[in-house]
Structure 1
Amino acid sequence: MATFSSVTRTHVLSAIAEHDDRGASAFLSVYGFSPTPGVTLTHDGEAYDATAILAVAHRYATGRAALPEEMTGGKVAVGTLLGKRGFDVTGGRPAATSARRSTAKAPRSTTPRKAPEPEKPTPVCPSCFMALPATGVCDSCG
């Protein structure tokens, strides 16, 4: 099963660039995906299949693309993960519209949020270009 903790914003942007280079249908077919309705990632005014983008971003992070059957977290998990990486995802986050909850909340502050710090680039093996584990020693090359 694929885990996505190593996927960073840079990996997602690389997957988006590959999608743009290949085209939507070729991108999906290369990685064995069919269009996933309901979860759309929007970046620079373009819409992308969020599930396929996340699976290919996993490839950039770990060297292996997540298979369609490994994307078991569903729409909410994909949307939440990509949202945490700073992307605009529609259809992937549940709406909290409970009347009881909305009356209990304090008014939202209008103070602007602090901009996120840029992510450090992931160290890669100079021989095989795989992401290095925390030990700094490549699992494949030693």
Structure 2
Amino acid sequence: MATFSSLTRLHVLQALAEYDTRGPEEFLEVYGFTPAPEHTLVHEGRHYDAKGILGVAHRFATGRLATSDEVDSGMPGAVAILRKRGFEVSEPASRTIPARTSGSARTSSPRAPRTTAAPTRRSTAVREAPVAICPTCSMTLPATGICDDCG
């Protein structure tokens, strides 16, 4: 199972740059993702497939591409991480919180259900410390500072 906690803003920006270079169709085809319009990452006015971006950003962070199923299962947490890294992610509009009901009948009119989508606000991104990268293979170094592949 893929975890997305190791993603930094730089990893996501690298995936966005590759998406821009290849174009949406080729990018998704090369990495084996299908379009997922239910989650859209918005960066500098452009819309990106958040699922594909997450999978490829995971590859930049760990050296292993996260599969479509792994991204699907970790999507709620991954969306939260993207937002913490300063990215805007839209979620499906159909996700609503059901109205509460109690055992007794209410005499007042029912309220409209609230949506879980947050209002579109631009949050201030937290500046991250640079990630240590192996000078030989360009992989993110573990906490030991010694590359697992190069030694």
Scaled to the shorter chain, the TM-score interval is 0.7 to 0.9
Change (3 A) 1:42 1:117: closer
Q: Is the 8 A contact 2:36 2:51 kept in 1?
A: yes
Q: Is the 8 A contact 2:86 2:126 kept in 1?
A: no
Among 117, 121, 146, the residue aligned to 1:137:
146
1:124 Cα deviation after fit: 0.9
1:68 Cα deviation after fit: 1.1
**Structure showing the higher helix proportion among its residues:** 1
1:121 Cα deviation after fit: 1.7
User: 1:35-86: per-residue Cα shift (whole Å, max 9, x none)?
Assistant: 0121000111110010110111111111121111222335533322211211
Change (3 A) 1:67 1:73: same
Give me the whole-angstrom Cα distance separating, in 2, the residues matched to 1:88 and 1:98: 27
Give the CA RMSD over aligned residues.
2.5
Q: Is the 8 A contact 1:75 1:91 kept in 2?
A: no
Matched with 2:31 is 31
Q: Is the 8 A contact 1:75 1:92 kept in 2?
A: no
Matched with 1:110 is none
Q: Secondary structure at the match of 2:15?
A: helix
Q: Provide structure 1 residue ranges, at least 5 long, that are not aligned to the other structure.
A: 100-113
Among 119, 126, 131, the residue aligned to 2:135:
126
Give me the whole-angstrom Cα distance separating, in 2, the residues matched to 1:48 and 1:120: 25
Task: Work out which of the two has the higher radius of gyration on C-alpha atoms and give 1 or 2.
Answer: 2
2:132 partner amino acid: P
Give me the whole-angstrom Cα distance separating, in 2, the residues matched to 1:54 and 1:3: 10
Give me the whole-angstrom Cα distance separating, in 2, the residues matched to 1:92 and 1:131: 33
Q: Provide structure 2 residue ranges, at least 5 long, that are not aligned to the other structure.
A: 101-122
Aligned residue-pair number = 130
Q: Is the 8 A contact 1:78 1:92 kept in 2?
A: no
Alignment of 1:25-104 (within 5 A): 25-73=25-73, 75-91=75-91
User: Percent of aligned positions with the same letter in both sequences?
Assistant: 52
Give TM-score scaled by structure 1 length: 0.80
